[in-house]
Structure 1
Amino acid sequence: MASRIAEEASWPRERLDRDYNARATIPVAAYEAEMLRYRAMSDAARESDATHLDVVYDAESGQTLDIFGTAAGELRPVFVFIHGGYWRALSKRDSAFMAGMLAKHGIASAAVDYRLAPETSLAEIVREVRAAIAFLSKNGRAYGIDPGRIYVGGSSAGGHLTGTVIAGGWQRDFGVPDDVVKGALPVSGLFHLGPIAKSYVQDWMRLDDAAVGALSPAENLPGSGCPIVVAYAAGEADGFKRQSVDYDRQWREAGFSSELIEVPRRNHFDVILDLADEDTELSWALLRLIGKA
């Protein structure tokens, strides 16, 4: 059941830099265009589907989340989206593109902000996203959210952070049940940080061995795991592919439910935008996960 990715930490730095460099998989102009699409599609969702903006979920950090697609007199399941950006870029303003699609199916969305590296440690980032889940569990009803139907997903670094909220061992400290998350969709995620700590990403992440062990979802599987869908793009850098395949294997070998999806004709950056369109494999997988397909 152990992760096979840990051995990558002994690989040559040059290979790790290549295998975990998502930006190098598409031209610069294409990357910039995708970032503009994130913001434009999310801005459109803020105009049409936002119901509660800039809700402070953590008094300690002052971080906020945006809520979309709730309805008066109704408690809806919620899909909590955690953005990527290698823990140092993007925000909730870039993270609401799926809100309209989900609202059509009676599902709320929440886009989460967290403080960014290198000014903030990964341990603190993880604490903040866990605090966001705990906030929705305890206070969701006030915002039209069913606290018993919280689903979480994220892309790239957000896929890693998704893994940290379905990991075991943190829930009691936050006063939430072990099964607070009912299902998860990590996309293009990173689940073992050993290779990352030996790559160029270490320049801003500054991970020590203790952080690698404590903050790697692959090293902290829960006692009872929720159903998950692990997805990645066919055009991913190789390291992201290997980590997704290995995490799916670990989840299933632990006796939990996992579905592995390779999305054709997509890259690391545009794959997550498939959630804006209900007629995609990724959207249908998420709707099945939530029980709305």
Structure 2
Amino acid sequence: MKSPNHSADYYSEQYNARASIPEHPHIFTRWVEQSAQVRRRHAGLFDLMYGDSAGERLDLFPTRVANAPLLVFIHGGWWRSLDKSDFSLLAPAFTNAGINVAMLNYSLAPEASVEEILQQQLRALAWLYKNAERYEIDAQRIMLAGHSAGAHLAAMLMTASWNTYDAALPENLIKAAALLSGVYDLTPLLQTDFVNTDLKLTEQRILPLSPGLMPLTRAIPFITAVGGLESDEFKRQTRLLENHWKPQHYISIALPDSNHLTICDVLSDPSSALTTAIIDLAISI
């Protein structure tokens, strides 16, 4: 399904989610404050090193249940902003349900390319698998979750050949995923100067970085969600992946009152349909 041809102005407006959400500074501030409270009140292991660079760190929020599944969350920010610590507020809904949570960081663009960021996420997942027993995690039940650029990275990891990457890893390392408001065909970003100034994407690099244009050869059930208040392009990107990977698509969660940012607030709510669906899938894998 080829990306439709629109003007650069159209794509810049469609993908600049912050510009369409005037209250976005207040949302980010609230996330930081709520996440700080979570880190004060909940057990966690912070800034664990999964690689050598400063960006290769993760936070681990353990559940009280031994040998429980692991939900690995990858944050968004157009690969160039935000931090894992901004999203600690998401952890309690899952740890209270008997699921361990890992929050991944990565080096940010323009210092790191999207390809380099993806390599870091591969290292993070390999590290978590190999250290699962140490942290009483069930290595056979690893589920991904990602928001925005993080959903893109999570989808890319779903296509990884893990045993080729590292012979010590199983091909089915990832058992399920939840992809929220992601970008799965990067073609339109060639025309979005507000972000491609940092990403420096080229036509030659698009196909290997677009999971929505790649096959998914393994049975990895995945949940999708996109806010009803999001742009047409974010909605189209989600439909693209749902259709392209239709045999593995588990469920789409309707969020009519959410925008590109407040979808994360829904994810922090243990009673929401989105969070409940992810918990049920993580426990069942």
TM-score interval w.r.t. the shorter chain? over 0.9
1:169-248 equivalence runs, <5 A: 169=161, 171-175=163-167, 176-200=169-193, 201-248=195-242
1:8-27 equivalence runs, <5 A: 8=4, 10-27=5-22
Give 3-state SS (helix, strand or coil) of 2:192's partner. Answer: coil
1:147-186 equivalence runs, <5 A: 147-169=139-161, 171-175=163-167, 176-186=169-179
Q: 1:214, 1:247 → 2: CA distance? A: 15
Q: 1:65, 1:125 → 2: CA distance? A: 14
Instruction: Kindly state the Cα deviation for residue 162 of structure 1 after the two structures are TM-superposed.
Output: 1.0
User: Residue 208 and residue 171 in structure 1: after superposition, are their counterparts in 2 closer, same or farther (change >3 A)?
Assistant: farther
Q: 2:278, 2:229 → 1: CA distance? A: 21
Give 3-state SS (helix, strand or coil) of 2:27's partner. Answer: helix
The one-letter amino acid paired with 1:286 is I
Q: 2:51, 2:62 → 1: CA distance? A: 22
Unaligned runs of 5+ in 1: none
Instruction: String of CA shifts for 1:166-214, please: whole Å, max 9, x gaps.
Output: 1144552134222111111110001011111222221111012232111
Aligned pair 1:63/2:69, yes or no?
A: no
Aligned to 1:144: 136
User: Residue 75 and residue 287 in structure 1: after superposition, are their counterparts in 2 closer, same or farther (change >3 A)?
Assistant: same
1:278 to 270, 278, 281: 270
Aligned to 1:251: 245
Q: TM-score, normalised by structure 2?
A: 0.93
Aligned to 2:100: 108
The one-letter amino acid paired with 2:244 is Q
1:10-49 equivalence runs, <5 A: 10-27=5-22, 30-49=23-42
The one-letter amino acid paired with 1:235 is L
Unaligned runs of 5+ in 2: none
Two-structure CA RMSD over aligned residues (Å): 1.7
Q: 2:101, 2:276 → 1: CA distance? A: 16
Give 3-state SS (helix, strand or coil) of 1:24's partner. Answer: coil
Q: 1:62, 1:249 → 2: CA distance? A: 34
Q: 1:141, 1:7 → 2: CA distance? A: 43
